[in-house]
Amino acid sequence: MNYSTFICGRFELTLKRPLVMGIVNVTPDSFSDGSAHFSTDAATAHAFELIEQGADMLDIGGESTRPGADAVSEEEELRRIIPVIQNLRDCGKPISVDTFKPAVMRAALAAGADLINDIYALRMPGALEVVAAHPNCGVCLMHMQGEPKTMQAAPQYGNVTDEVYRFLEERRAAAIAAGIAASRICLDPGYGFGKTVQQNYQLLREQGSLSGLHSPLLIGLSRKSMIAAVTGRAPQDRVAGSIAGALAAANRGAAIIRVHDVAQTVDALKVWAATEQGEIHGA
């Protein structure tokens, strides 16, 4: 690695081991947990439970980005997430917000968010400027071919890994040119976003080549259809497959791993770290 820390709002995160980002979906239609945490109280309680399980960070989302998902208005997305951010801003962990709307980014940062996790990689008009105006907030730039409603219709690549690399390289350069420090940027290759099963696994197999981008990698493959394709499991039964994917990603340089099943992933990564890095920590 050519980096050891990641600036994320109020936090300077050490990247000596892969960090675990716990998912908090404040949506009625998430592919993995439906409306389980749709209310403010339920989402807040779930977030604190993830912290107890060992989450290093939290990722709050108010709009599903699953394939075929319907769009949500700015007003509705804000109604869902802002009270949750306010409830969690003093939880002692970085708060990420999964959004691509500049107005939502601005309000989320004002409410106490530390990281903007953007599936459009700050391509929406005004998004670059919002993040650049907040000198310490982190940002995750993700690769996606197409847009969530239709991205899985017929994704086409010459070479998926090469094209993802070039896209992330360009978006990273655009962010830096806009005044966003390199130390605030992490990159997500976008597993499941406009990619076939074969393309996803090629990208995972070749993920190590993305280290040439010189930014931490945030990886999200928890419970996704690429796991179902080889296990045949329903979303709630994809824990073991998701952990296997997380460990494969860790072996190929993942710095942050975004997951639903925090406790199980934390345990798996402790064993991985003891084996691969010689880091042994007691329970």
What the chain holds in terms of domains, given with CATH numbers, is: 5-275 (3.20.20.20)
- Report d(CA 79, CA 65) in Å as an integer: 17
258 as an active site residue: the answer is yes
Annotated catalytic residue within 80, 171, 224, 252? 224
Task: Find out whether 114 and 92 touch, Cβ atoms under 8 Å.
Answer: no
79 as an active site residue: the answer is no
Instruction: Please provide residue 9's backbone torsions phi and psi, each rounded to the nearest 5 degrees.
Output: 65, -120
- Collect the ranges in the chain with pLDDT lower than 70: 1-3, 29-37, 281-283
Q: In the Cβ-directed half-sphere of 224, how many Cα atoms lie within 13 Å?
A: 24
pTM for this entry: 0.94
Which pLDDT score, from 0 to 100, does residue 30 have?
55
Which pLDDT score, from 0 to 100, does residue 283 have?
60
Q: Which residues, including other chains, have CB under 8 Å from residue 231's CB and lie 6 or more apart? A: 237, 238, 240, 241
pLDDT digits (tens, 9 = 90+) for 146-179: 887 777 777 899 999 999 999 999 999 999 999 9
Q: CA nearest 83: which of 33, 130, 26?
A: 26
Which pLDDT score, from 0 to 100, does residue 282 have?
63
Please give, one letter per residue, the 3-state secondary structure of the chain.
CCCCEEEECCEEEECCCCEEEEEEECCCCECCCECCCCCHHHHHHHHHHHHHCCCCEEEEECCCCCCCCCCCCHHHHHHHHHHHHHHHCCCCCCEEEECCCHHHHHHHHHHCCCEEEECCCCCCCCHHHHHHCCCCCEEEEECCCCCCCCCCCCCCCCCHHHHHHHHHHHHHHHHHHCCCCHHHEEEECCCCCCCCHHHHHHHHHCHHHHHHHCCCEEECCCCCHHHHHHHCCCHHHCHHHHHHHHHHHHHCCEEEEEECCHHHHHHHHHHHHHHHCCCCCCC
Which pLDDT score, from 0 to 100, does residue 66 have?
74
